[in-house]
Structure 1
């Protein structure tokens, strides 16, 4: 019986290092979260907007001195705040910020020197979104929940790469079944963020397998 990737004429998905998301909180709480997850190679930190975000990232860096860090501003910054925070976050080793400005107000990114690479999340839903991103973003976050499924997600990935964007493959909180098709999209992505099942109290009977190599492709008992 052929697997989905065979039907798509793609190689079987190999493990991809996935980000692990730290909840937004006070700096001391975020430092504890980071320390508890310092063994993970890639941490994603939610930010709240405001200069206190620097204290949060300083705390995360203390807790996990060796981890790669990406941040999600959740549309909570202004252009002025990006200009203030971005150089500081770069010095702290942050590699990218997701959606710093509200999707409807991201024209301002055209005028900014993006010293910290910017990833489109709420501003990028499907292939049709790409024409609105030129000159504003360096990376796009592809989520099955936004594209509507695997076919459009793969189409968006290929179009984004052809247009010169880096690719992130992300998720909402969900079970291993919800993540499984995204393991195909995530192959060789610059950033993989498929930690949804790790944030659940219970998962599928045959869940995705996570280890030091990252998130593995689904078993035949799960999907595909």
Structure 2
């Protein structure tokens, strides 16, 4: 039996400053640091990026330490199935999993979407997200996103202010679909006025109203619109318990640990008759591209993360007419450059540690 090829693992942390502070319930972000991982061998490489899961303390520094401790089995030629046994769900596993997908794509000269069982990869209508700001700022943001077909509003749990935000967005953009994300900010005894307002303003989706661990409260929630689980869903093992309580599952590669796990969740959720959403953690196009592959199997797409950053990759996803487009040369296109293998591998490694953003 042929032994797997030995790989070279290169890791780096990038600061990823935002264009402007971004507010959600309980947090204000000015940057979203990310861990980048490159797995390379002569002639091929694979890239992965992960910001982690901030509310679980899953951050780039801890992810870096985790992967350094696992360097030997990873470089020995690990596959995605073995990776699921080596690391738990989270950002560290996501970075390596995505790198392995692209590495396979280059080895077989086939795009990742084809490896994932798709017949094509089409542009997707994506949400554009507005922070939990004053209603006038929300309205201005809604108007500024003139191309948007779907807007998502962040809520902060202040009922009157949240209702005003929703009303302001709807007045500014009567033509678009609206979704809202409470980020765990509500309790069962305070949410009724918000639910009524969401219905009045034709909001299509309410994301994670209650705290993670309070999923049983969903049994007593009377809500005429779809409700999505985000923080309540981390990996495949959570799906069964959420069935019957949530209508939609929001998949993020950083939470579940990569595209491999996410596709398993898709299969199980569809078997249960659940809808699916894909999001990401504000990363660059290296994070958005594998999520774009996952988005081909989802009902709601929320992949505007790169638009919040002060800079993105030189080869980046494209936002046009309310859709996200992902050219093959961004990530996972299936064919490496045709020049000298050693020189290419050296340039790829240098690109992460030096100046990967424009």
TM tier, shorter chain?
over 0.9
Give the aligned length: 224
**C-alpha distance in 1 between matches for 2:330 and 2:189:** 50
1:125 to 225, 231, 234: 234
2:120 to 3, 9, 12: 12
Number of the residue aligned with 2:165:
56
Q: From the superposition, tell whether residues 215 and 39 of structure 1 become closer, same or farther in structure 2 (CA, over 3 Å).
A: closer
**C-alpha distance in 2 between matches for 1:176 and 1:182:** 10
- Gaps in structure 1 of 5+ consecutive residues: none
Number of the residue aligned with 1:212:
321
SS at match of 1:103: coil
TM-score (norm 1): 0.95
1:82 to 161, 185, 191: 191
1:151 to 219, 239, 260: 260
- Gaps in structure 2 of 5+ consecutive residues: 1-108, 334-358
Measured after TM superposition, the shift of residue 148 of structure 1 is 0.7
**C-alpha distance in 1 between matches for 2:322 and 2:204:** 20
Measured after TM superposition, the shift of residue 167 of structure 1 is 0.4
**C-alpha distance in 2 between matches for 1:173 and 1:210:** 15
* Structure 2 counterparts to residues 1-224 of structure 1, below 5 A: 1-52=109-160, 53-212=162-321, 214-224=323-333
Measured after TM superposition, the shift of residue 114 of structure 1 is 2.3
Structure with a larger share of its residues in strand? 2
**C-alpha distance in 1 between matches for 2:122 and 2:225:** 29
1:80-128 Cα distance to aligned partner (Å, 9 max, x none): 2222211221110111111000011121111222212210000011111
TM-score (norm 2): 0.60
SS at match of 2:125: coil
**C-alpha distance in 2 between matches for 1:180 and 1:221:** 7
Q: CA RMSD in A?
A: 1.4
